Structure 1
Amino acid sequence: MMDKQLTILLIGRILTNFADSFYMIATIWYVKTLTDSPLLVGLTSAIAILPVTIQFLYGPMIDRFSKKAILYMAMFGQGLLVTVISILYYADFLWLPLLYIMMFLALSLSECSYPVESALIERLAPREKLTKVNSIFSFSYQTLDIICDAVSGILIAFVGLGVIYISNSLLLIMIGLMFLMYLKVPKSNKEMEKSTLGFFKQYREDFKDGFLVVKSRQRLLSIVFGFVVMNLLATMGLAMLPVISDTSMEYGFWLTAMSIGTLSGTILSSKVEKFPLNRVLPAVALWSGIFWLLTFLFNETQFVPYVFFALSWLGIGILSIFIQTMIQVNLPREHVGIGFAFISSLLGSLSPLGYFLGGVIGEQTSGLFLLMLSGTGYMFFTVYFLMNPRLKTIKQSLSVSFED
């Protein structure tokens, strides 16, 4: 049984993920049908992922201020912004640049909740159960993602984009109310400190302190940089999934394969967490790369590509749980919030560029070529890990810090 507050946090995360997924898929498909341009589809995906790169700006506030207040204010703000998108859509005034601005602001609020939740998980869950709790969180909302991705194309076709926008705006406001009324979390030492500095001076001091802590984690950063390049190549290909899809339902099948694979990976992550990291990380990355390439080598075969794509994302699901747990385990408790924000920004730093480059290159080549190219990123990570002297000697298992 999980702690009651962890359960409330989990319910909020599931519902938030549900809302984010639906209105993101709706927006991408709206741009696809409105313009039929690979460049603008890639740009839409780039703008959607851009908020990840500014998570480091939230870091000092996450550790210093009430995590509960940050969560419910983020949900209320996101809900109001999606409400505005809904009104503009129904008024037939959803100008594309304006949609991009509203989507960026809404997803920026959504992104600030991730480092807050990661810091709360680390505080509320015993260290020996961190991998399991992270897996439960990921498993739960990935299960809902499968349902969401599987029916997204059907819902877009039958209920329309406007209904999706307005229903998700109401859902986000309800999540904010749930956090406001029921979430009770312990205060960190930094929250209880009486600061003699003004807001901006204290922010600058906390920012500098957090930056130095993260900078000192050299092995962790070496792994993160490998993930950054892997993500860059992967996102270049993912930008092409709507382009190679003839219908919204086909696009939904690709998203469903991703979700089923990721879900399977989160389940298996606790089964392989005891293996040394210098064995499991390169092996899992190699697995993902092989099945990613097989997906698009057999793209003309019925259903087989979706199976291979799911198998590739099984490995990616394991990697995502591992990187989240490594961050929690290898950072000091009082710096988990800001550290997670900094490292999340690093992890997503080149993803917007990847989506944008995917759109640009996709205009000149083909979506299938880009998707094949993107699978090589996982091969790169395997070679990089095995050749890096800092990484190939990490014999600790996942729950043991390798930075101590």
Structure 2
Amino acid sequence: MDVLKNKNFLSLFWGRLITNAGDSIYYITTTWLAATITDDPFYVGVTSAVILIPKTLQFLWGPLVDRWNIKPVLIFTQLIQAALILLIPILYYMQLLTIFNLLPIVFVAAIVAELGYPVQLKALPIILPKNQLIKGNSLLAMANQSADIVLNALAGILLAILGVATLYLVDSVIFTLAALTFSLIKLKKTSSATIKVEKFSLRNYRLEMKMGLKIVFTSMIWIFLIANTISNFCLGIMYAILPIYANSLGGEEKYGFILTAISVGTVLGALISTKLNKVPIGLFIASSFILAFILWGIAPYMNFYVFLLLFTLSWIPVGAANIIIGSIMQSVIPLSIIGRTNTVIASFCAIAMPLGSLAGGLLVRYHDSRLILSLSAIGYLAVGLTWLLNKKLRNLPNSEIIRFTDFNIPRELIDVDTMEKETRNHTNVFGGRE
């Protein structure tokens, strides 16, 4: 049966597309609103940080997601977001909206959103048979990026036409529509129990977290994790100052176009990653990120259309690296513990982004936004130099032959026999079999 003929998958796909559209509108509208009601770059940075902080908490609720019933969580996360977002235009029309009552609403909405996404991923292996999971994941990723590309461009234009309060009302309706779409998913009563997990206890919880931490910090993973953390700090600076930079160029439309450039570059990188399965990973990441650093660094000093081109190109390595590193993690870490390991990696990387947003808000108070935007490219340089100067990272082979031993993951932390079996049967994201 084709994936697109599966009614449950279609409901999940369209629900994911709709909710991601709502998230795109929400992020752009909220950061722009913070700039408007405060006229202070620092509070734009604080708002961006508050939106990003829940991403750092992923490792805390990773073990909990496996214990939740899927359909109710899918529906209620969307309805709660719709209700929270509706509070903002109500306060706005009552002339009671300030940055101090906006921030708590933003924080709670961000937490609810972060709870919803892993549950959507959990639903996939229940809805689809194993041989359709890769295609299903690919389509869901496409839904994310497609919504980002279209809505990042349109949100700025819609802000100019409709105004901030009306756009929040529209966004609330979008999340309600997502909830209705998810409600169409029909799961058998036994489906939610398909994934077996041990009964929750603090002891099991601590042990699951400890395993993920050990794999990350007793292998080579921690080396590029540090570089990624520095890069994410700089990205946090960038996201905080973009509304200020865009406003200096002309307004909401420019902000939407800049965010669209990020999405387009990321998608292009994801597309070319499928052609890189025979390219040595270490040298590709080192060289591409150093080149991207140069392109990003000079982009703010060009005219707007050249800036968009260079900025788009600078995001291609990120899109490619996300797919490549994700494939590596699937190859070198046993499937039985990959979830908790990836949440540790994601959380440590994400911690730096809200800190960067706060720093960006402060820096742009005293320095030109163009200069700060240019300097935030240093994060890419940190990644490139880390992979270039570390011999083991630089010499990593291509994705077709890489093994867990290349990352110095201690054998005692994994079931080697299971790892070998998974490696032989694993179909990677580049196509073909390993």
1:322 & 1:89 partners in 2: Cα distance?
Answer: 44
Partner of 2:244: 243
Q: Which aligned pairs between 1:121-136 and structure 2 lie closer than 5 A? A: 130=134, 134-136=137-139
Of the three residues 347, 354, 372, the one matched with 1:352 is: 354
Does 1:284 find its partner at 2:267? no
Three-state SS of the structure 1 residue aligned to 2:115 is helix
2:388 & 2:258 partners in 1: Cα distance?
Answer: 31
1:120 & 1:289 partners in 2: Cα distance?
Answer: 38
Structure 1 residues not aligned, in runs of 5+ = none
Point out the more displaced range, 228-237 or 385-394.
385-394
Of the three residues 66, 69, 89, the one matched with 1:66 is: 69
| CA deviation vs aligned residue, 1:81-121 (integer Å, no higher than 9, x gap) | 21222322232222211111111111111112333344555
Summarize the Cα distance change of 1:326–1:183 in structure 2 as closer, same or farther, 3 Å threshold: farther
Contact 2:238-2:373 at 8 Å conserved across structures: yes
| CA deviation vs aligned residue, 1:233-292 (integer Å, no higher than 9, x gap) | 122133221112231112122112212212222222222244332233223322322221
Partner of 2:232: 231
Give the share of equivalent positions with the same residue, in percent: 29
Point out the more displaced range, 285-294 or 177-186.
177-186
Summarize the Cα distance change of 1:39–1:78 in structure 2 as closer, same or farther, 3 Å threshold: same
Partner of 2:305: 303
Does 1:275 find its partner at 2:274? no
Summarize the Cα distance change of 1:141–1:128 in structure 2 as closer, same or farther, 3 Å threshold: closer
Contact 2:11-2:184 at 8 Å conserved across structures: no
Three-state SS of the structure 1 residue aligned to 2:183 is helix
1:128 & 1:180 partners in 2: Cα distance?
Answer: 22
Contact 2:38-2:99 at 8 Å conserved across structures: no
**RMSD of aligned C-alpha atoms?**
2.8
Summarize the Cα distance change of 1:133–1:35 in structure 2 as closer, same or farther, 3 Å threshold: same
Summarize the Cα distance change of 1:344–1:6 in structure 2 as closer, same or farther, 3 Å threshold: farther
Point out the more displaced range, 163-172 or 21-30.
163-172
Contact 1:276-1:398 at 8 Å conserved across structures: no
1:152 & 1:399 partners in 2: Cα distance?
Answer: 43
Report the TM-score, using the length of structure 1 for normalisation.
0.87
Three-state SS of the structure 1 residue aligned to 2:15 is helix
Does 1:260 find its partner at 2:264? yes
Does 1:320 find its partner at 2:322? yes
Report the TM-score, using the length of structure 2 for normalisation.
0.81
Cα shift at 1:389:
4.4
Structure 2 residues not aligned, in runs of 5+ = 410-418, 420-434
Cα shift at 1:369:
1.6
Letter of the 1:212 partner, please give it.
M
Three-state SS of the structure 2 residue aligned to 1:58 is helix
Q: Which has the higher contact order (CA 8 A, sep 6+)?
A: 1
Three-state SS of the structure 1 residue aligned to 2:52 is helix
Of the three residues 33, 37, 40, the one matched with 1:34 is: 37
Q: Compare CA radii of gyration and give the structure with the larger one.
A: 2
Partner of 1:392: 394
Partner of 1:78: 81
Letter of the 1:268 partner, please give it.
I
Partner of 1:216: 215
Contact 2:289-2:317 at 8 Å conserved across structures: yes
Partner of 2:173: 170
Q: Which aligned pairs between 1:340-379 and structure 2 lie closer than 5 A? A: 340-379=342-381
Point out the more displaced range, 358-367 or 266-275.
266-275
Does 1:108 find its partner at 2:98? no
Three-state SS of the structure 1 residue aligned to 2:399 is coil
Summarize the Cα distance change of 1:393–1:340 in structure 2 as closer, same or farther, 3 Å threshold: same
| CA deviation vs aligned residue, 1:350-380 (integer Å, no higher than 9, x gap) | 1000011011111122212211211121121
Cα shift at 1:65:
2.9
Counting matched residue pairs gives: 395
Three-state SS of the structure 2 residue aligned to 1:275 is coil
1:383 & 1:194 partners in 2: Cα distance?
Answer: 43
1:228 & 1:255 partners in 2: Cα distance?
Answer: 21
Letter of the 2:397 partner, please give it.
K
2:146 & 2:277 partners in 1: Cα distance?
Answer: 21
Of the three residues 41, 49, 52, the one matched with 2:52 is: 49
